[in-house]
Structures are given as structure tokens and as C-alpha cells.
Amino acid sequence: MIIKNKNGKELTSIDKWEAGFKEVDEPKHWEPGYSAYSLGAFFTSGKGEKWLAELSMIMLGDIITWDEAIIEHESKLDSFGGKHRMQDLALWGTLPNKEKVFMGIEAKVLEPFGNYALRDEYDEAVKYQETKNSNSNKPKRVLQITEFLFPGKNPYDKEICDLRYQLMHYFQASIKEASNYSESRRAINRRKSRSDIVILPILVFKQSILHPIQKRQTVMKRIISLSAIRWG
């Protein structure tokens, strides 16, 4: 499996991963002990590909052949402008039975899924629209994500109001990435057909915090895997 950035640069070593990452994201986000670096170190060491094979067997009972893998891939949420969902690592693959698989990996290091729960994100979006930009579509986006994932509910519904908005953002963009390629900015071969299965794993790297904090080193990792979604 060869991992690339959106410019086609192959990330076959930690140095090449760093250079490729800095082409498509802010250099300040690359720091040993942080999520981007930890993800790069995990995959360039060979451990990441082994983990993918193990995860594939656990969840699907077979090995996925990965056709393409891209870091910092933008998955479109909707037709609104602004920032959409950046996948830390997006992968497209095929099972032996020819089913197509999309996997959107989220890497985390000592960080939550955003600052706000769904209810609070909506309140902040409305406040922003009322005080700073009357043309803002932020409230509409929050409502759309809520309706997409929880039809008939609203951000104040007690069953969902405390869910992390960034997590909901991740779910919707990843599902739409797999099922509605017409919204993508780039047209390449994999978008001729939709994925049958979506897998959304969260890769959490635990840290030993040294001094100064910028010199954190990865000492242990833990995997949290979400269920695969198979399209009917």
C-alpha cells in the first residue's frame, strides 16, 4: 500500500511524510508527539498496514486490498462554502468479493472531538450569524448534519444534544464521501462507483508529556474502532 498526499507525493518514510504533510497543511501542525506526526510514524514503521489488516479481519472477516490512500483529504459535507471535513487518512479499497470499502481514519493525541456538543455548536453558530455575519450558513450546516444523522430531531433533543459536534461532522462527511462522489472536487477512477462499506476508526495515541510540552513522545497507542456501515 502506498500512501500519498493530494499532490501525488508518495509518503514512504517519516521524512517524506513530513514534507508531503507540509505541502497540504500548516507546518505548525507537524510536531513530534502530535497526531499528524504520530500517524505518519505509525504507518511508515509498517505497524499501520499490519493494523489495517488485523482490523479488516476482525470487522469483515477478510483482507481489504487498498487501492488508494491519501492524507489530509477533504470530504465535502454540503454545498455551503467554508471548511469541510479533513480526513487525517482516507483509504479506498476492495474486498475479495468485489465490495468497495471506504475508510476515514481520525487520529487523536490528548485532544477531544472539538470544543462543543451539538447543542452548544448550534447556539454558537446562531450567535455568530446574529453578531458577525448575517449570511453565515453555520446554523444551516448544524441543522443539516443533525437531520442527516438523526432524522426528525433537532440539536436540543435530549437524546443527542450532548454528542460532540465534531464527531457528527466526521460521520456525515465520511458517509457522504463513500456514497455521493458527485460532490467531490476531483474526479478519479474510484468515484465511478460508491462504496458498499464505510469504516470509521479513531486512532488514539497516548502520550508521555515531557518538558517542554512540545517535546512529547509517543509511548503507547490505543485503538477505538467504530462499526462498519454496509450499504443496503
Q: How many CA within 13 A on the CB side of residue 38? A: 23
- Specify the pLDDT at position 112: 64
* 159-171 tens-digit pLDDT: 999 998 888 888 8
Task: Report if residue 177 sits inside a domain.
Answer: no
40, part of any domain: yes
Question: pLDDT tens-digit profile of 45-103?
Answer: 999 999 999 999 998 999 999 999 999 998 877 777 767 788 999 999 999 998 888 89
Q: Are residues 125 and 16 in the same domain?
A: no
Q: Which residue has the higher pLDDT, 153 or 212?
A: 153
Task: Report if residue 169 sits inside a domain.
Answer: no
Other C-beta atoms closer than 10 Å to the C-beta of 2 total 9
Give the Cα separation of 69 and 51 in Å (integer): 15
Is residue 123 assigned to a domain?
Answer: yes
144 and 213 both lie in a single domain: no
With cut-offs at 50, 70 and 90, classify the pLDDT of residue 208. low
Residue 158 lies in a domain: yes
Strand segments, DSSP code E, in the chain are: 3-4, 65-75, 85-94, 100-108, 197-199, 201-208, 217-225, 229-230
Give the whole-angstrom CA distance, residue 2 versus residue 11: 7
Shared domain check, 147 and 189: no
Tell me how crowded residue 66 is: count the other CB atoms within 10 A of its CB: 19
Instruction: Tell me, yes or no, whether 34 and 120 share the same domain.
Output: no
Predicted local distance difference test score (pLDDT) of residue 72: 93
Residue 176's pLDDT band (boundaries 50, 70, 90)? Answer: confident
Same domain? 102 vs 213? yes
Q: Identify whether residues 99 and 122 lie together within a single domain.
A: no
- Domain-located, residue 187: yes
pLDDT over 50 at 196, yes or no: yes
Residue 83 and residue 60 share a domain: yes
**Do 133 and 21 lie in a common domain?**
no
| Alpha-helical runs (H) found in 25-134 | 35-44, 47-60, 118-131
Amino acid at 52: L
Q: How confident is the model at residue 186 (pLDDT cuts 50, 70, 90)?
A: very low
Question: Who wins on pLDDT, 2 or 188?
Answer: 2
pTM of the model: 0.79
Position 148 in a domain = yes
Q: What is the mean pLDDT of the chain?
A: 81
- Please indicate, yes or no, whether residues 136 and 21 belong to a single structural domain of this protein: no
One domain, residues 89 and 7: yes
Chain segment 100-136, per-residue pLDDT in tens: 888 999 888 866 666 789 999 999 999 999 999 999 9
163 contacts 200 by C-beta, under 8 angstroms: no
Q: Do residue 105 and residue 156 come from a single domain?
A: no
Q: Please give the tally of structural domains in the chain.
A: 2
- As a whole number, mean pLDDT of residues 207-224 equals 41
Q: pLDDT at residue 205 above 60?
A: yes
- Structural domain including 149 reads 115-163
59 lies in the same domain as 105: yes
Structure confidence at residue 225 (pLDDT):
41
Give percent of the chain above pLDDT 70: 78
